[in-house]
Chain A
Amino acid sequence: MTQAFRVAGGAMLDRARPVSFTFDGVAYGGYEGDTLASALLANGVRLVGRSYKYHRPRGIVSAGAEEPNALVGVARGPGRFTPNLRATQVGLFDGLVAMSQNRWPSLAFDVGAVNDLAAPLIGAGFYYKTFMGPDWFGKNWAWRRVYEPAIRLAAGLGAAPSEPDPDRYVRYFDHCDVMIVGAGPAGLAAALAAGASGARVVVCDENPAPGGSLLAETHAQIAGERAWVWLAEALAALRTRPNVRLMPRTQVFGYYAQNFVALCEGVSEPELIADPDLPRERLWQMRAREVVLATGAIERPLVFADNDRPGVMLADAARRYLHQYGVKVGERAVVVTAHDGAYRAAIDLKEAGVKVELIADLRDEASGPWPGTARAAGIRVATKAAMHEVRGRRRVEAVRLAAHPGGMRTISCDALLMSGGWTPSVHLFSQSRGKLVFDEALQVFKPGASAQRERSAGACNATFGLAKALAEGDAAGRAAASAAGFAAPDARPYAVDGAPQADGGMLGAPLHILGDRHAKAFVDFQNDVCVKDVELAVQEGMRSIEHVKRYTTTGMATDQGKLSNMNALAIAAVAQEKTIPEVGLTTFRPPYTPVTFGAFAGPARGDLFDPIRRTPIHDWAAERGAAFEDVGLWKRAWYFPKPAESMHEAVARECRTTRAAVGLFDATTLGKIEVVGPDAAAFLERMYANAFMKLEPGRCRYGLMLSEAGFLMDDGVIARLAPDRFHVTTTTGGAPRVLAHMEDYLQTEFTDLKVWLTSTSEQWAVIAVQGPKARETIAPLMEGIDLANAAFPHMSVRDARVCGVPTRLMRVSFTGELGYEINVPAGFGRPVWEAVWRELEKRGGCAYGTEAMHVMRAEKGYVIVGQETDGTVTLADLGLDWAIGKTKKDFVGKRSLSRPDIIAENRKQLVGLLTENPNVVLEEGAQVTEGATPPLAAPALGHVTSSYRSETLGRSIALALVATGRSRFGEMLHVPMPKGPIRVSVTSPIFYDKLGTRLNA
């Protein structure tokens, strides 16, 4: 098909650059600068979509972000598919592939259209009342098994893409002094004024070309120049200013507290192709000192029967298609209006060769300059009009209407242009929490008191007319600049000629539509809400406009009230016999227009989703084929399988080797805090349950940290390096929490203490050497230390040198074997590890991972915070109350230890569990019960916290928290599982080397 509806003009087009595209598989031509919508119209395509609920044929209604019908999917190659784009905002590019939505099998023949016939059954609120019962197969059976799956299948508009998106998305924080939203006449006047002050100014516009209404302004002269010329000069002036940033194709979609504004900037297809480094979209999180809202207004549809037929379009949209894109929207047009602006559209269309059959004005009279000009141009005008019928299903063929003079008539036409007046775009103002006020004279909601540092200018402030918009924009720009602390320029007068103001408008539906249960007079095209649906909602008891909105779904989805809000509100007001302000307005919520998931996700996917923290020894482990597990953000070596070895076999070998000879373990991820100052010991006395005052330098203690509520919060070895210096270790995951907890008490409760905290978690690589041959393994590498048992016993710390590198050497164990932890500066971690490894290999040792570490510590009954504990477990529960410094008057958590629920006798206690069948390994988290088949809802005695196959003991072992567990040693209990109960006996949680002789070897 050729571009039969293309005419001369079209300020946006580059006629030297024709492009081709497809829509539902059919190839069409257009020009660079077209939108998908303008190109479809140029090619005579009128049917572009199917409505959400009734699947009615729909056409393009608007020329902007408010488009409710022309939602399409756009593909740009594999993985690059975006559903639900408004064709009016899709820039045309060569090779674009677009497809219609919500139809099957095709747009022209859509099976779902039977819904249109079933409309009486699926009116407002049908979700809430139609789908009750029958409960034949249990409560809510029909809903769960029949209705909900069917509705889910039918619901939704576009299909989500199924492949990963290959495009890049980035996001930046940014700051400016003056943020101007909208680059129409008011926004540009504001930008010129604020820019002249030297302030950092950002001007955004959602469209590819800034200019707003000026882009279609054919009559007006500004300061003696054609509007287009003025626009070009204004943009050129702004572009020369280094302090002004002009951002086209940038949607301001959210306005948050303290002038935090969210912008989504699109990058055009030609730019993307030209520069592969460019992202598809940029999300800007902008903090603005001052904001100027110049977001314009949106033309309102009229409400009449079958006002949704393809070919029914907003009057000013038709004018914009003509002037911006060189497209006439039909050959024979009828205009129906309650606003003078539509006359202007009629005049322009007539000049372009469109036959304008009639302007039918709903008002009693049509006076003022624009109706006068229209009449003078020979266009027939009739008033007191009432629309009765729109004929044609997939496109308008004729309208039947009554008007004076002439009475009832039927007029053939292929375009029906409508205007109900203009609704200020107050979305962002409302998001900023500003209070809207209703202007009785203009019948609009407009910005009232500001909640933030912003001001509105132009049509969004209900200041209509070019001259007034420019003046108000200039004033707003100057006000914003001076409020941001800059010297604003003098007011700049803008003389405007040739564009008289257009007035008028109506809200709601005309009388003959109200109460008509048969008319399909749409209030919300996108959500298929008719006048009768709003009335039904009120009749069924919805009073609040928020309830009406939810019951009918009006103003939801991408519409967000752009087209439908005011008409729905007026109809609800009439139905309730209230005024519009009494009924009130629904809340505007971000985003103003849909934003892609890509923009929100930005770079946070794959390796950049979260930091991946690796120890200095990580690569060594990776080179040896270690399997890793995630522990918080850390990657930890889990086990080191030899070729063809299973995880189970590897872990068994690692445990066996460590217990028999020596094992090497990367403990770098442990948290470390250096506590320094004259009151360091006193501080630790208060923060930990243990006593520290008498701990000698060179000695270590197993520290237990309680929350103030008395529960175990963290644990770790604490080494006293000097009278005023401690090296505190924490769990891997607990490091930031413990430091914050300590800082909290130090800064806000124990302010009398002279002590300071510094995280050293990453200063040290920690190389754990464990096993009977640990001493002889490290001895050849150590200098400046006597490793003999007497000189350096269990739980000691010394400064020494390893491989010539300074080390804090600790003799500690988490395996129950003779063990050392070699702390070396992290940058030397890998070479020292490798040196130890060479010594270890000579002695038949191996590296072991976190799994073997877990098994070996469980064999010894050592708890892991977060595994044996869940924030409700006390030291007494764990059998660790021996560690409490009994003589201390106070420490964090002490007072809670005498609370009634903490000293209660039936608390769960840590025990060991041995399965009757030694080969059965219990599930961690499984419940422990008294009987084999406990009655339903009987509380369990406790649960399994850790469970492993122990190579050392040749059987499975488990730790569990069981009510009064320590009095149950020897008892048989049960662990009920889906395949039947498992019998277990209760034992001590220490399975191996109960006396600790290996530890002290």
Chain B
Amino acid sequence: MPDAAVALRSPLERLALPAGDRFALAETPPAARFVFRGGEAARAACSAAFGAELPARLGLGGERERRAALWLGPDEWLLIAEGADSASLGAEIEAALVSAPHSLVDVSHRQIGLLVSGPVAARALSAGCPLDLHLSAFPVGMATRTIFDKAEIALWRRGATAFHVEVWRSFAPYLVAALAEAARGAPEG
């Protein structure tokens, strides 16, 4: 355990996050995060060990009980385990994968999660993300790596008007400011 004086810090701790009816931003709860890379055998074994299915292709994120696996590429997934301890979870997964070549890397601190919600959430994201975020094109549960203007993000739709965005921590204040600016006066629909 960290010493008492050593408290976890967030890159957003000094920022005022928008919290209106039309648009709100919130940091997601602390989570263990891993980038998992490997072939099909490793994917199957990791799905079992992690407890949520690592999707085989671009599309909906695999999700089960506060654990989610997002497809980033054909051999690359982002694992998010809310509230979990990354050291012990990492050890559990490694133990289940001794026979399948793979790479499991702890990125719990590399990035933060941002919940973007409200009727203009999709519009604000579309200020920097060139993907079609209409529900018919980007349904609830869809997850992908993409960009927001000059920052790379992973975008995961949690509801019609709610998105979970993963962003590297030094880009997070920029993303927050750019989203807040884009949401201001944005038309709905």
Contact = CB atoms under 8 A, between A and B. Distances in A.
Interface string B37-56: 11000000000000000000
B7 interface: yes
A608 B181 contact: yes
- Interface SS of chain B: loop
A805 B127 contact: no
B189 A245 contact: yes
B44 to A, nearest CB: 17
Given A170-B186, A277-B185, A827-B8, A175 B137 contact: yes
Interface in A577-629: 603-604, 607-608, 610-616, 619
Size category of the B interface is: 35 or more
A170 B126 CA distance: 11
A213 B88 CA distance: 72
Given A758-B35, A762-B170, A170 B150 contact: no
A171 interface: yes
A754 B170 contact: no
A607 to B, nearest CB: 6
B6 A803 contact: yes
Interface stretch (A548-556, A657-665, A670-678, A972-980): A670-678
Contacts of B87: 806
B101 A677 contact: yes
Interface residues of A, number: 57
Given A762-B170, A803-B5, A828-B2, A172 B123 contact: yes
A117 B38 CA distance: 80
A611 B1 contact: no
B19 interface: no
B57 to A, nearest CB: 18
A674 B110 CA distance: 12
Contact of B173 (A614, A804, A827, A830): A614
A826 interface: yes
A676 B107 CA distance: 14
B184 A168 contact: yes
Interface string A169-188: 01111110000000000000
Nearest to B107: A763
Contact of B103 (A278, A603, A676, A759): A676
A992 interface: no
Nearest to B39: A754
A678 B182 contact: no
B145 interface: no
A676 B134 contact: no
Interface string B105-140: 111111100000000000100110111101001000
Contacts of A616: 9, 11, 169
Contacts of B126: 172-174
A275 interface: yes
A536 to B, nearest CB: 48
B10 interface: yes
A804 B169 CA distance: 22
Nearest to A260: B130
Given A174-B126, A603-B181, A677-B103, A825 B109 contact: yes
B89 to A, nearest CB: 14
A608 B174 contact: yes
B51 to A, nearest CB: 21
Interface in A173-219: 173-175, 200
A757 B11 CA distance: 25
A619 B174 CA distance: 16
A447 interface: no
B108 A825 contact: yes
A266 B49 CA distance: 54
B26 interface: no
Nearest to B75: A756
Interface in A818-835: 825-832, 835
B177 interface: yes
Given A763-B108, A826-B110, A828-B2, A277 B184 contact: yes
A175 B186 contact: no
B9 A611 contact: no
A828 B169 CA distance: 13
14 contacts: A170-B184, A603-B127, A607-B174, A614-B11, A616-B169, A676-B102, A676-B103, A757-B37, A758-B103, A761-B168, A762-B110, A803-B3, A804-B3, A826-B109
- Nearest 9 Cβ contacts at the A-B interface: A676-B103, A756-B103, A756-B37, A611-B174, A613-B170, A277-B185, A175-B132, A825-B109, A758-B105
Interface of A: 168, 170-175, 200, 242, 245, 275, 277-279, 285, 287, 603-604, 607-608, 610-616, 619, 634, 674, 676-678, 754-764, 803-806, 825-832, 835
